[in-house]
Structure 1
Amino acid sequence: MISLKIKKASEEDIKVVAKVYVDSWRTTYHGLVPDDYLDRLSYEEAEQRWLHFLINENEPFIYIAINNAGKIIGFASGKSINDKNFDGELYSLYLLQECRGLGVGRQLVSAIAKHFRENGIASMLVWVMEQNKTGVGFYERMGGKEYLRRKSEFGGMVVDDVAYGWKDVSVLCMEEE
């Protein structure tokens, strides 16, 4: 596990969050969604999307992972939801490709879980594209239980999504080192 700083993102961080988002989509979903969809992703639109998320979602927040060089290498976001079985959603988790498999995702999920726990949200779910085997494996290793399925559409291609849930977010909270 690499040493890094996890902190709540500010509005000033959104430009870099947008870059991580687009770059991560282009590597993670290459071959899973149409190339022209990935080619059309823009940093400017992503920045607007994440600012919109922070303004319009229900109790939204973003945590960023910063490496020793001071570079944002990943982020995770969460929000409150009205679901009969879960009250929080891990809305996103994106890491730069070179930072995967190093424990960054686990630390970001822990930050989201701690935020939820501190704000009275006991359970959470996350949606992941079923064809994203790395993501599915990650959430299964984190103890997520399959909860729901849905279909999404990206660039005219329909994909299967699966939701994984945790009834108690405390199991995801890592101790500070």
Structure 2
Amino acid sequence: MTDDDVDAVAEIRVGGWRTAYRGLVPDRYLDAMDPLADAAAHRARRSSPAYPMAELVAESPLDGVIGWACLGPSRDEDLPAPAGELYALYVRPALVGTGVGRALCAGVLERARERGDARLGLWVLRENARARRFYARAGFTADGAERVDPVDGEPVVEVRYVRGL
């Protein structure tokens, strides 16, 4: 990913949230999401010298950036080191199910191995059945860990998936 990709990534991320999480998080939160604000915040994070994340994009010759994934060090102290975390993986909503997500996931796994991670964890909304099936097919397994992450004041339960590398 380059700085030139940030605007497209923001559109993909906001579109992904609005499509995948409708009915799972408050509509008012989804409707208030702003790709321009998301891009500005993303640029600010990327400009930090302490930015520990690796970002990958999937591109199409016709459509430019069509998917995005972000990984870095695990934030979970109970996951044995060395461990990484897949923070996000989004595909243009119209392209879900076309293999773009699988290609991005394969790239993430390769990058995590290059970083020296022995395992990779991720958090997914408990009620997001489609994403849970996707990660299970990619070799991730729910390990029993759960957390509540409030979204716009509403509790949203996430479950952790982990896979060895």
TM value normalised by structure 2: 0.89
**1:127·1:162 contact (CA, 8 Å) conserved in 2?**
yes
**1:28·1:132 contact (CA, 8 Å) conserved in 2?**
yes
More off after superposition, 83-92 vs 60-69: 83-92
Instruction: Choose from 64, 69, 74 the match for 1:76.
Output: 69
Q: CA deviation at 1:119?
A: 2.1
Instruction: Choose from 148, 153, 158 the match for 1:161.
Output: 158
In 2, Cα distance between the equivalents of 1:141 and 1:14?
A: 29
- 2:59 is the counterpart of 1:63: no
Letter in 1 for 2:16: S
Partner of 2:96: 100
Partner of 1:129: 125
Distance 1:129 1:57, change over 3 A: farther
Q: Which runs of 5+ in 1 are unaligned?
A: 1-8, 169-177
More off after superposition, 118-127 vs 75-84: 75-84
Instruction: Choose from 122, 147, 150 the match for 1:150.
Output: 147
Letter in 1 for 2:19: T
**Structure 2 residue matching 1:126: 3-state secondary structure:** strand
More off after superposition, 96-105 vs 44-53: 44-53
In 2, Cα distance between the equivalents of 1:26 and 1:99?
A: 15
- 2:80 is the counterpart of 1:85: yes
In 1, Cα distance between the equivalents of 2:50 and 2:111?
A: 16
Partner of 2:35: 43
**RMSD between superposed Cα atoms in Å:** 1.7
Distance 1:38 1:52, change over 3 A: same
In 2, Cα distance between the equivalents of 1:53 and 1:99?
A: 27
TM value normalised by structure 1: 0.83
In 2, Cα distance between the equivalents of 1:113 and 1:165?
A: 12
Letter in 1 for 2:153: G
In 1, Cα distance between the equivalents of 2:38 and 2:114?
A: 29
Q: CA deviation at 1:11?
A: 1.4
Q: Residue deviations 1:52-72, cap 9 Å, x none?
A: 443376621111111230421
**1:58·1:79 contact (CA, 8 Å) conserved in 2?**
no
**Structure 2 residue matching 1:154: 3-state secondary structure:** coil
Q: CA deviation at 1:48?
A: 2.8
In 2, Cα distance between the equivalents of 1:21 and 1:56?
A: 23
Distance 1:164 1:115, change over 3 A: same
**2:10·2:39 contact (CA, 8 Å) conserved in 1?**
yes
Q: How many residues align?
A: 160
